[in-house]
């Protein structure tokens, strides 16, 4: 469907009180039925999209120290690393050989790396692989670049784009409520700063995604507040191509809590589809839930199956290691009664 049309505000939309009532009073199947009906209204063509890409974490050294992250290492740790440009190049070549079109480039807030490192990294990628789409640097990273270089967000984004950045992922959102962020990621940017980075990216013409990591210290009301923040910015800019909610994986982290069940995941996925009436695509998180729940998600509001994840390091650091080759991914989509379609980050079909 047309992305601009999808971003227009809808009449009779859910508000916070109605969404909370729906969550409290609707069972798994009632929520799923409502969400699937809206998904089919927005995407009646009967296909499910996905992207072939690779997550490349250029460094695991980070000063943020988020309590939910099992991947990062503090400066000076013996397990800390920064990928060499040659190793990065090897990973990209391997991705292309496997049919990959895109790389997701993310890392930690490494105090030893200045802005020029990232600009040189992008220039190298585009000089050697001009056909690869670089989906990189989440809002907390851009916030950190801006703070360390004393430049504003727009200037940082412009310089990154000139060097080769194509779009920005929605990582680092967690829950866009500062009460929650102060507990799980006190050194990371605020909710308002995350949203402002995205606003500036959209103003400059970049498309981005939005995410949510739920199932830790937040309340249901705060989850809905997060959805409202995303919807409000989408009303303003229309720059989000997709929303990707996933459940927190507590193993190996400093934030121990009850892990959200698959039922809770599907119910909230459905509520997300219903609330975010102006975000065109909702992505299933088979990486955290596994392939079978990922397949079920296609009937609870999701129209996109995410990425083949040729490489993934952050979630696997918490002990979750689902793998899904492209052939199997397509089988799952076909088995659910849909037609699989490779896509671009901006949701153009590649087949």
Tokens of 324: 């899904």
* Partner residues linked to 283 by β-bridges: 304
Backbone angles phi, psi at 232, to 5 degrees: -60, -45
Handedness of CA 10, 23, 321, 143 (dihedral sign): positive
Q: How far is CA 240 from CA 38, 59, 90, 151, 184, in A?
A: 18, 26, 31, 24, 25
In a domain, 327, yes or no: yes
Host domain of residue 187:
18-342
Q: Assign residue 326 a region (left: φ > 0; alpha: ψ between -120 and 50; beta: otherwise).
A: alpha
**Number of structural domains found in the chain:** 1
Mean predicted lDDT score pLDDT of the chain: 89
In a domain, 55, yes or no: yes
Handedness of CA 117, 56, 65, 158 (dihedral sign): positive
What is the arithmetic mean of pLDDT over 173-185? 93
Tokens of 134: 């670089």
Q: What is the pLDDT of residues 50-88, one digit of tens each?
A: 998 888 998 888 876 666 677 678 878 888 888 999 999
Q: What is the pLDDT of residues 237-265, one digit of tens each?
A: 999 999 999 988 766 555 666 677 899 99
Specify the DSSP class assigned to residue 345: T
**d(Cα 294, Cα 284) in Å, to the nearest integer?**
6
**What do you get for the CA distance between the two ends of the chain, in Å?**
16
In a domain, 1, yes or no: no
In a domain, 217, yes or no: yes
Query: Lowest-pLDDT range, 85-89, 174-178, 284-288?
Result: 284-288
Q: How far is CA 101 from the centre of its chain?
A: 17
In a domain, 197, yes or no: yes
Residue 302 has pLDDT above 90, yes or no: yes
What is the arithmetic mean of pLDDT over 167-188? 92
Residue 346 has pLDDT above 90, yes or no: yes
In a domain, 351, yes or no: no
In a domain, 112, yes or no: yes
What is the arithmetic mean of pLDDT over 160-178? 96
Percent of the chain exceeding pLDDT 90 equals 66
Residue 310 has pLDDT above 90, yes or no: no
**What CATH number is attached to the domain comprising 265?**
3.20.20.70
In a domain, 114, yes or no: yes
* Helices (H), ranges, 204-304: 220-237, 262-275, 286-289, 291-297
Nearest CA to 165 among 131, 198, 123? 123
Residues 6+ positions from 128 with CB-CB distance below 8 Å: 89, 92
**d(Cα 324, Cα 218) in Å, to the nearest integer?**
30
Residues 6+ positions from 249 with CB-CB distance below 8 Å: 259, 288, 315, 318, 319, 320
Query: Residue 110: helix, strand or coil by DSSP?
Result: coil
What is the arithmetic mean of pLDDT over 217-238? 97
């Amino acid at each position: 469907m047309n992305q601009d049309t999808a971003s227009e505000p809808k009449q009779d939309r859910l508000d916070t009180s109605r969404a909370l009532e729906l969550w409290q009073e609707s069972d798994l199947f009632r929520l799923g039925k409502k969400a699937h009906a809206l998904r089919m209204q927005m995407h009646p063509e009967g296909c499910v999209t996905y992207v072939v890409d690779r997550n490349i974490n250029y460094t695991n050294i980070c000063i943020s120290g988020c309590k939910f992250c099992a991947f990062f290492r503090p400066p000076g740790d013996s397990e800390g690393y920064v990928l060499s440009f040659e190793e990065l190049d090897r990973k990209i070549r391997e991705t292309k050989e496997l049919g990959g079109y895109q790389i997701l480039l993310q890392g930690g807030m490494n105090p030893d790396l200045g802005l020029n490192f990232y600009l040189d990294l992008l220039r190298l990628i585009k000089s050697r692989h001009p056909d690869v789409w670089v989906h990189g640097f989440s809002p907390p990273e851009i916030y950190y670049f801006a703070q360390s270089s004393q430049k504003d967000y727009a200037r940082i984004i412009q310089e990154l784009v000139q060097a080769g950045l194509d779009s920005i992922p929605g990582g680092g959102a967690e829950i866009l409520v500062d009460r929650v962020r102060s507990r799980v990621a006190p050194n990371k940017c605020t909710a308002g700063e995350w949203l402002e980075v995205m606003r500036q990216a959209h103003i400059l013409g970049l498309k981005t995604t939005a995410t949510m990591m739920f199932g830790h210290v937040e309340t249901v009301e705060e989850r809905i507040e997060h959805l409202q923040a995303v919807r409000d910015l989408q009303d303003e800019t229309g720059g989000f191509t997709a929303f990707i909610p996933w459940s927190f994986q507590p193993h190996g982290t400093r934030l121990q809590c009850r892990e959200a069940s698959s039922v809770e995941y599907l119910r909230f996925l459905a509520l997300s589809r219903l609330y975010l009436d102006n975000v065109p695509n909702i992505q299933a998180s088979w990486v955290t839930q596994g392939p079978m729940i990922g397949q079920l998600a296609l009937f609870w509001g999701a129209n996109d199956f995410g990425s083949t994840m040729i490489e993934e390091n952050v979630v696997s650091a918490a002990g979750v290691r689902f793998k899904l080759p492209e052939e199997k991914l397509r089988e799952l989509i076909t088995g659910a009664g849909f037609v699989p379609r490779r896509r671009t980050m901006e949701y153009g079909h590649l087949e």
